[in-house]
Amino acid sequence: MLNMKNVSKVYRTDTVETHALREFSLIVEEGEFVSVTGPSGSGKTTFLNIAGLLEDLTDGAYELDGRDISKLNDKERSRVRNEKIGFIFQSFNLIPELNIFDNVDVPLRYRGFNADERKRRIEQSIEMVGLGSRMQHLPAQLSGGQQQRVAIARALAGEPRFLLADEPTGNLDSQMADSVLDLLAEINAAGTTIIMVTHELGLADRARRNIFVRDGQVSDNAPELHLASMAAG
Amino acid sequence: MFRYYLKLGTLSIRANPMLSALMVAAIAVGIGACMTIFTVRHVMSGNPIESKNDQLYHVQVDNWNPDDPYEEPDGAPVQVTYLDAKALFDAGRAFRQTTSFKTSRVVQPDGDDARPYQEDARATTADFFPMFDVPFLYGAGWDRASDETQDHVVVLSRELNEKLFGGEDSVGRTLMLNDEAYRVSGVLDTWNPVPKYYDVNNNPFEAPARLFLPFSLAIAGSFDNNGNTSCWKPVEEGSGREGFLASECIWIQMWVELQNASARQDYMNFLNAYVEEQKLLGRFPRPLNNHLRTPSEWMKYNEVVDEDVDVLLGLAILFLVVCLLNTIGLLLAKAMRRAKDTSLRRALGASRAELFKQHVIEAGMIGVAGGALGVVMTWFGLRGIESIFIEYEFMQHLVRMDWSMVTLAVVLAIVSALGAALYPTWRTCNITPASYLRLQ
């Protein structure tokens, strides 16, 4: 379970103080598929970064699977990221000089699995996203949708409890976006908790719960379309 | 993970070939400059007789001018007079002892076509060879009896034996020198101590003589001294050779072998007693100033390594530092270019420690490449020095690169690369991953 209570995040420069999150509170239960929407600059991505332990929070409390994240050192936080969290980014973030197999291998290396176990997991996850015949291809040799599938395979290879997706279909055409969302739905159905940030309300409707963020806080005043979809869901 | 990081390092170097090449070149140029000078200094400051350094002693007694020391403020003369050399040698108070000076002989090879020519020689005593562990290919040096009886015996260097006798065992054969017949008693194996510690007064880096003859014979035969001679009192006019031998001129090098500290103290006491005795005879007007110096002490005392070489070495190290600063700049540029990759790895579970290892191993690879190229640069640097000083034959002994220097070059390059990588790596490991992963 993910539990954020009164989390705030402030970015400071010499002259400017920006409040990206203000007393942000959210609980995400095991197995949920939550979409996070909101206007640009509302704090969606900051929330996701803090949830994924990519950034420190300024104030408040954050527990992941019952562990107080603020008390973890770098090594422990890295281990939590590696074992419990999978990331999917809008720009895929594949390593261009590594082939598909080696890209999916990256988080498994830090996990300390032996070669056989890594190979099994890599092949299984790449097969799952339908790219079994492309394991030796470089990212540049794949389409955008295929690259995002590789990114999903990489996120899934470690069998994480949480999948954090930041605009996962932002760089894809609608057909590819649909197929990626179908895949995420499958993954969620298999038990993985998914939190997806998107600015497209249509895509947000594919989630089972929708969170609207405005001015760094979870807002009750969601757009009509959004509320309608929530009611329908 | 080590092999994995090696693979990542290789990929990273391939992905940034220009940047990597510049870093390797910067390190290699710095290492090359540094190691070129260091190699020369290393050879100059070496001690070829390290194994007997605590048994061999150069003898110094101060017979110099009471009003003007040999060297300010109270340095004793660096050679001895014939009077003292003979007296100390004849006393035979050391386990082994040798007196020697640089001379030359006209070699008259066999054969009608062979023309006589002048060859450098060293007049010395029988103990010279066992004292300095001189290796023999054939035969041996002469015995102490030959010193007393002024035998016409000669020891040849390996090169001279090859020239005169085609490299055959020439022991027992006759060699004509200045119209006198000498019996070859031995042929040296390759022997080229650098520096030439037993005679640093006459260019410590010139090659050893190729002929060795008995000291007593050279004195009796009035062989010329081709080395340095210094006098603080003029030789009595018209006294000829006898007057020179009886003078206070210094021109002979004297070494003794003393097997332990007690023997050294005994010999020092003997030297002091000898000088006190000489004072009663009107010699040695200065206060007691006798010294027994080991080969390493002796070379240091004579500043065999010129101060200029140390200054050059300092400049070379400074140059290496400048090259490393460039490398740091290049590494920072590379780190910035790879910030997204680093951030991604952080997101996927790499701790700072793991990233540090990855980047340090990559820097080490750059260092190995820089070191290897640095060795090549050093070789070219040494050849450059050799070509600049081509007219000085002794330079070829100073520009030799041994395995210890090759190893040092590579190790220095790796350490330099790791040192240069510390700050960029620290920066890399401390970036906030979110700020780079957000970039589209």
Interval B57-77: pLDDT, tens:
999 999 999 999 999 888 999
Q: Which among A54, A106, A154 has the least Cβ separation from residue B433? A: A54
Q: Is A87's Cβ below 8 Å from some Cβ in B?
A: yes
A148 touches chain B (CB under 8 A): no
Cβ within 8 Å, pair A54-B440:
no
pLDDT computed for residue B440 by the predictor: 39
Q: What are the strands, taking DSSP E only, across A38-190? A: 59-64, 67-68, 85-88, 162-166
Q: Do B349 and A154 touch (CB under 8 A)?
A: no
* The residue type at A16: V
Look at residue B395 and tell me whether its pLDDT is greater than 80.
no
Distance of alpha carbon B191 from alpha carbon B128, whole angstroms = 13
The conformational region for residue B52 under phi > 0 = left, psi -120 to 50 = alpha, else beta, is: alpha
Same domain, B32 and B147: no
Q: How far is A233 from chain B (nearest CA, A)?
A: 31
User: pLDDT category, B277, cuts 50, 70, 90?
Assistant: very high
Structural domain total, chain B: 2
pLDDT of residue A224: 52
Band (B304; pLDDT cuts 50, 70, 90): confident
The series of mean pLDDT values per 10 residues for chain A, 233 residues long, is 90 87 90 89 88 89 88 89 88 88 92 91 88 90 88 87 86 78 86 87 82 85 50 40
Q: Under a CB-based contact definition with an 8 Å cutoff, are residues B373 and B35 in contact? A: no
Q: Are residues B273 and B329 in the same domain?
A: no
What distance in Å separates the CA atoms of residue B157 and residue B190, rounded to the nearest whole number?
Answer: 7
Cα separation, A90 vs B362, whole angstroms: 29
Whether B354 contacts chain A with CB within 8 A: yes
| Contact criterion met (CB < 8 Å) for A95 and B341 | yes
Could you identify the residue written with the tokens 């979870």?
A: A218
Domain membership of residue B358 as a residue range: 2-45+306-437
User: What residues contact A165, with CB distance under 8 A and at least 6 apart?
Assistant: A87, A88, A184, A194, A195, A196, A197
- Give chain B positions within 8 Å (CB) of A98: 11
Final residue before a domain boundary, out of B237, B266, B301 = B301
B235 interface with A at CB cutoff 8 Å? no
- Please report the pLDDT score of residue B393 as a whole number: 67
**B3-15 per-position pLDDT tens digit:** 899 999 998 888 8
CB contact under 8 A, B347 and A75: no
B15/A97 touch (CB, cutoff 8 Å), yes or no: yes
Would you call B350 and A78 a contact, using CB atoms and an 8 Å cutoff? yes
Of B337, B323, B318, the C-alpha closest to B417 is B323
Task: Report the gap between the CA of B24 and the closest CA in chain A (Å).
Answer: 21
**Cβ A110–B349 below 8 Å, yes or no?**
yes
| ipTM for the predicted complex | 0.85
Rounded to a whole number, what is the distance in Å from the CA of A10 to chain B's nearest CA?
A: 14
Query: Please, what is the end-to-end C-alpha distance for chain B in angstroms?
Result: 30
| A111 touches B at CB < 8 Å | yes
Q: Say if residue B252 is in the same domain as residue B292.
A: yes
Would you say B43 and B328 are in contact if contact means Cβ atoms under 8 Å apart?
no
Alpha-carbon distance of B87 to B273, in angstroms, equals 13
Is A93 within 8 Å of B340 when comparing Cβ atoms? yes
Distance from CA of A47 to the nearest CA of B (A): 11
Q: What is the pLDDT, as a whole number, of residue A227?
A: 45
Partner B contacted by A121 (CB < 8 A): no
The C-alpha of A24 sits at a distance from chain B's nearest C-alpha, in angstroms, of 19
The answer to whether residues B284 and B336 belong to one domain is no
Check whether residue B274 and residue B380 sit in a common domain: no
Read off the pLDDT of each residue in B100-115 and give the average, rounded to a whole number: 88
In terms of DSSP bridges, do strands A209-214 and A33-37 run parallel, antiparallel, or are they unpaired?
Answer: parallel
* Chain B residues closer than 8 Å to A82 by CB: 348-350
What share of chain B in percent tops pLDDT 70? 98
Q: Helix, strand or coil for residue A20?
A: strand
Nearest-by-Cβ selection for A54 from B1, B11, B347: B347
Q: How far apart are CA B281 and CA B63, in angstroms?
A: 12
Q: Hey, which residues 51-70 in chain A have their CB within 8 Å of chain B?
A: 52, 54-55
Instruction: Say yes or no: B296 and B310 in one domain.
Output: no
- With beta carbons under 8 A apart, name residues in chain B contacting A104: none
B326 & B290 share domain: no
CB-based contact B440 A90, cutoff 8 Å: yes
Q: Chain A closest CA to B28's CA: distance in Å?
A: 27
Which residue has 């003589």 as its token pair? B209
3-state secondary structure A195-208: EEECCCHHHHCCCC
CA distances in angstroms from B136 to B46, B133, B185, B190, B212, listed in the order given: 22, 9, 10, 8, 13
Does residue B200 carry a pLDDT above 90? no
Euclidean distance between CA atoms B171 and B156, whole angstroms: 10
Can you tell me the distance from the alpha carbon of B255 to that of B250, in angstroms, rounded to the nearest whole number?
15
Separation CA A35–CA A194 (nearest Å): 8
Residue B341: band (very low, low, confident or very high) from pLDDT cuts 50, 70, 90 = confident
pLDDT mean over B178-196? 93
A149 with A184: CB under 8 angstroms? no
Supply the pLDDT for residue B61. 96
User: End-to-end CA distance of chain A, in Å?
Assistant: 22
Cβ–Cβ gap A54/B353 under 8 Å: no
Checking if the pLDDT of B439 tops 50, the result is: no
CA distance B348 to chain A (A): 5
Q: How far apart are CA B127 and CA A196, in angstroms?
A: 92
Residue B211: pLDDT band with limits 50, 70, 90: very high
- From B253, B285, B301, give the residue that closes a domain: B301
Per the omega criterion (within 30 degrees of 0), is the bond before B193 cis? Answer: no
CA distance B359 to B65: 66
Inter-chain touch B344–A95, beta carbons under 8 Å? yes
Both B184 and B236 in one domain: the answer is: yes
Asked if B85 and B158 sit in the same domain, the reply is: yes
- A14-19: list long-range contacts, CB under 8 Å, 24+ apart: A19/A216
Residues B291 and B408 in one domain: no
For B151-165, what is each residue's pLDDT tens digit? Answer: 999 999 999 999 999
Is the same domain home to B257 and B224? Answer: yes
Q: Measured between CB atoms, does A103 come within 8 Å of chain B?
A: no
Mean pLDDT to the nearest integer, B116-129: 95
Give the pLDDT score at A170. 78
Q: What whole-number distance in Å separates Cα of residue B159 and Cα of residue B174?
A: 17
Instruction: Out of B266, B301, B336, pick the residue that ends a domain.
Output: B301
Dist. CA B364–CA B358, nearest whole Å: 10
Look up residue B422 and give its DSSP letter: H
- What is the distance between the alpha carbons of residues B390 and B141, in angstroms, rounded to a whole number? 34
Q: What DSSP state is assigned to residue A28?
A: E
Residue B222: predicted pLDDT: 92
For residue A187, give the 3-state DSSP assignment. helix
Contact A54 B437 (CB under 8 A): yes
Say which amino acid occupies A5: K
Give yes or no for a contact between A127 and A84, defined as CB atoms under 8 angstroms apart: no
B10 vs A: CB within 8 A: no
Residues B293 and B395 in one domain: no
Q: Is A90 on the interface with B (CB under 8 A)?
A: yes
Nearest to A129 by CA among A106, A164, A103: A103
Instruction: Give this prediction's pTM.
Output: 0.68
Q: How confident is the model at residue B141 (pLDDT cuts 50, 70, 90)?
A: very high
Instruction: Find the CB nearest A107 among B4, B15, B349.
Output: B349
Phi, psi of A190 (to 5 degrees): -80, -5
The rounded mean pLDDT for chain B is: 90
Burial of residue B231 (number of CB atoms within 10 Å: 0-12, 13-18, 19+): middle
CB A28 within 8 A of CB A1: yes
* Closest-CA distance of chain B to residue A37, Å: 17
- For chain B, the C-alpha Rg in angstroms (whole number) is 30
